[in-house]
Amino acid sequence: MVSKKATRILTVVLCGLIAPMLWTDDVARYAVHTGGKIGFIDRDGKMVIEPQFEDAIHFQDGVASVKAGGKWGYIDPSGKWVIPPRYDEARTFYQGLGTVRLGSKWGYINREGKWVIPLRYDVAKSFVDSGVSGAELTFARVKSGNQWMLIDTKGKPVLKPHVDELGPLEEGLAPVRVKDKWGYIDKDGHSIIEFKYEKALGFGEGLALVKLDQRWGFIDKTGQTAIDFKYEEAGEFGEGVAPVRINGKWGYIDKTGKFVIEPQFDDAKTFADGLGEVHVQHHDAYVDHNGAVVWRSDD
């Protein structure tokens, strides 16, 4: 998913004094692989957090989850640890809650590393903005046993659909799988878009990426085809463009289906914070909206 711009303050007690610690994701950072390690560059392509991590997930809510010494923790945009590496797995923070795993169970922590929702789920995904007006906006999808459900930020189940797989509730709709077909339900579990797709992802910027007859395309929230099913692979929309693969190469299209960056990459990911991550000629790289290379690996 794309980062949400917000600034929040965490108050911490240090040596008997109360000091504010600013958590913000206004400072863009991008994970890069070099020399067998992962570091982070800024928007200009300058290395600002030296490669030192074994794995990493993008910044959100002012922190990134990274792996060091076989464990996961969270760093700030300067590379300092804000929650030391002690988890077996960690996903992004959102609305002050981070998703972590210890052993075989998942739960949610706050920004001090304290448990808000205890370890009790077999699967847990990060909280996201549901896009449901007039209601609690933030939900996460979790699984316990064979039951998928949506929970609120206190861990209370708000929906327990009878499905085999549950995607994120975004813009008021969630993709779900029943047997081998995907469709969409609303926040109350009502079927909104027909179960006919081979795969379906969450809505973003008014469109959802779905697969039909072995090709990928995009639909709107009425289930109508917005961009024809003609792509071999594709990614979700971000910042008005989406990565798609056609004839073996990746490029970026706008919401009319027109290429704004011509197919030329071996791989491409959704744009976030002004840059798109690509792979070209055996190099990892980041490009801007004009397709210009901002950073390229030396490996």
Residues 209, 288: Cα–Cα separation, whole Å: 22
pTM of the model: 0.89
Domain assignment present for 27: no
Domain assignment present for 165: yes
Residues 1, 176: Cα–Cα separation, whole Å: 18
Q: Give the per-residue pLDDT at 208.
A: 98
Residue 189: DSSP 8-state: S
Residues 285, 222: Cα–Cα separation, whole Å: 36
Domain assignment present for 226: yes
Query: Which residues does 146 contact at the CB level (< 8 Å), separation at least 6?
Result: none
Domain assignment present for 202: yes
Q: Residue for token digits 């579990």?
A: 189
- β pairing state of 147-151 and 138-144: antiparallel
Domain count, the chain: 1
Q: Dump pLDDT digits (tens) for 98-119.
A: 999 999 999 999 999 999 999 9
Tell me the chain's radius of gyration from C-alpha atoms: 20
Residue 80: Cβ within 10 Å count = 9
Domain assignment present for 258: yes
Residue 49's DSSP bridge partners are: 40
Residue 241: DSSP 8-state: B
Domain assignment present for 29: no
Residue 204's DSSP bridge partners are: 207
Domain assignment present for 70: no
Range of the domain at 120: 82-296
Q: Contact 178/206 with Cβ under 8 angstroms?
A: no
The sign of the dihedral angle between the CA atoms of 46, 25, 167, 216 is negative
Token digits for 9?
Answer: 């303050």
The sign of the dihedral angle between the CA atoms of 209, 213, 215, 217 is negative
The stretches in the chain having pLDDT less than 70 are 1-26, 134-135
Residue 106's DSSP bridge partners are: 101, 121
Averaged pLDDT of the chain: 91
CATH for 246 = 2.130.10.10
Residues 34, 275: Cα–Cα separation, whole Å: 18
Residues 289, 182: Cα–Cα separation, whole Å: 32
Domain assignment present for 22: no
